[in-house]
């Protein structure tokens, strides 16, 4: 067998081994999460190695405990889901409101400092979030925004706007400028051009950007911990789950049910629009 033929065969087999390995490695933890969330804790302790659940032991008690309100002796995750939804949707809408004009300007209009703007915005990521944490912590304490969801939304906008602009910009530049010129000749103002011509054309990328912002805001943990820890009624699901794990005598099965509750919304949304999102994120990467 020649070396080329051997390698062809070898890599042909390895390819499937790699694919199988990766699928197991990525899916198994999520399967395990789901499994434990519907298992009674006693059965888990009895036989930790059994990775299936029988019909007789299947239970939704963990979910009941997680979702029941605090007054009724549960963990109150419904309220946290509402908080998380408010924060994430608020962050999405406001970020898009800020980023769409910004991205349009950066991609279309020649203005003083245009080139520097992009560099400045991407420079945001150079500084550790923990570096922002100290002064923001103090600023919010002074402004009375500590423990409020509004403060958190403001931070999320600042954290996501640079990527949002970056993602939108690469799409805006693909809209042919002649379409805009035609609209201008027909008497559209600049606002109308953006509103009626560019936005409808860029709708997929706006959706993708919105989803990405949603994902970041929904999953964020550090700033929620810093600003909301003292205010249980404002906890987001991420923070609530982490605080739950600190509690004494919380069974792991309940913790896993909480993890499922936290993971499900964002995963459902993501797979609802996966294609748009992945294309939006990497559309700048495949140019040769």
Are 88 and 217 in contact, with CB atoms under 8 Å apart?
yes
The region that residue 110 occupies, defined by phi over 0 for left and psi between -120 and 50 for alpha, beta otherwise, is beta
Contacting another protein within 129-148 (CB under 8 A): 129-139, 141-142
Q: Extract long-range pairs of 43-46: CB within 8 Å, 24+ residues apart.
A: 44/252, 44/253
Total residues binding another protein (CB under 8 A) = 99
**In the complex, least distance from residue 232 CB atom to another protein, rounded to whole angstroms:** 16
Other beta carbons less than 10 A from residue 114's beta carbon: 13
* Position 32 contacts another protein (CB under 8 A): yes
**In the complex, least distance from residue 32 CB atom to another protein, rounded to whole angstroms:** 6
* Position 222 contacts another protein (CB under 8 A): yes
In the complex with another protein, the residue whose CB is nearer, 72 or 288, is 288
**In the complex, least distance from residue 225 CB atom to another protein, rounded to whole angstroms:** 8
Question: What x/- string results for residues 4 through 23 when contact with another protein is judged by CB under 8 A?
Answer: x--xx--x---x--xx--xx
First and final CA of the chain: distance in angstroms?
Answer: 37
Collapse the DSSP code of 247 into the 3-class scheme (helix H, G, I; strand E, B; otherwise coil) and give the result: coil
**In the complex, least distance from residue 78 CB atom to another protein, rounded to whole angstroms:** 17
* Position 250 contacts another protein (CB under 8 A): no
* Position 36 contacts another protein (CB under 8 A): yes
**In the complex, least distance from residue 31 CB atom to another protein, rounded to whole angstroms:** 10
- In the set 80, 92, 157, 168, which binds another protein (CB under 8 A)? 157
Are 101 and 194 in contact, with CB atoms under 8 Å apart?
yes
Q: Cα(113)–Cα(127) distance, rounded to whole angstroms?
A: 22
Are 160 and 213 in contact, with CB atoms under 8 Å apart?
yes
* Position 155 contacts another protein (CB under 8 A): yes
Q: Cα(279)–Cα(199) distance, rounded to whole angstroms?
A: 17
Are 33 and 253 in contact, with CB atoms under 8 Å apart?
no
- In the set 60, 64, 114, 186, which binds another protein (CB under 8 A)? 114
Contacting another protein within 159-218 (CB under 8 A): 161-162, 165, 190, 215, 218
* Position 117 contacts another protein (CB under 8 A): yes
In the complex with another protein, the residue whose CB is nearer, 55 or 230, is 230
Q: Is 288 exposed, middle or buried (0-12, 13-18, 19+ CB in 10 A)?
A: exposed
Cα angle: 220, vertex 167, 126; to 5 degrees: 55
The region that residue 16 occupies, defined by phi over 0 for left and psi between -120 and 50 for alpha, beta otherwise, is alpha
In the complex with another protein, the residue whose CB is nearer, 4 or 185, is 4
* Position 42 contacts another protein (CB under 8 A): no
- In the set 97, 150, 182, 203, which binds another protein (CB under 8 A)? 97
Contacting another protein within 53-92 (CB under 8 A): none
**In the complex, least distance from residue 242 CB atom to another protein, rounded to whole angstroms:** 5
């Amino acid at each position: 067998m020649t070396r080329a033929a051997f390698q062809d065969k070898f890599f042909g087999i390895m390819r499937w081994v790699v694919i199988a390995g990766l699928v197991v490695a990525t899916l198994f933890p999520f399967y395990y999460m789901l499994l434990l969330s519907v298992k009674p804790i006693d059965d888990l302790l009895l036989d930790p190695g059994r990775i299936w659940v029988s019909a007789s032991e299947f239970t939704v008690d963990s979910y009941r405990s997680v979702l029941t309100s605090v007054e009724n002796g549960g963990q109150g995750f419904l309220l946290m889901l509402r908080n998380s939804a408010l924060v994430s949707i608020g962050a999405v809408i406001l970020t898009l409101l800020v980023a769409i004009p910004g991205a349009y300007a950066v991609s279309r209009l020649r203005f003083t400092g245009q080139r520097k703007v992009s560099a400045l915005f991407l420079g945001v990521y150079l500084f550790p979030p923990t570096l922002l944490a100290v002064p923001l912590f103090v600023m919010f304490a002074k402004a009375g925004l500590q423990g409020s969801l509004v403060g958190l939304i403001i931070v999320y906008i600042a954290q996501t706007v640079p990527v949002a602009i970056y993602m939108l910009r690469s799409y805006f530049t693909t809209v042919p400028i002649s379409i805009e010129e035609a609209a201008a000749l027909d008497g559209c103002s600049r606002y109308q051009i953006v509103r009626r011509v560019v936005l409808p054309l860029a709708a997929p990328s706006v959706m993708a950007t919105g989803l990405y912002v949603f994902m970041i805001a929904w999953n964020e943990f550090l700033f929620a911990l810093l600003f909301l820890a003292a205010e249980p009624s404002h906890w987001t699901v991420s923070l609530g789950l982490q605080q739950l794990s600190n509690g004494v005598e919380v069974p792991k099965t309940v913790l896993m049910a909480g993890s499922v509750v936290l993971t499900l919304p964002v995963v459902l949304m993501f797979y609802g629009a996966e294609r748009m999102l992945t294309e939006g994120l990497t559309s700048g990467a495949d140019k040769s």
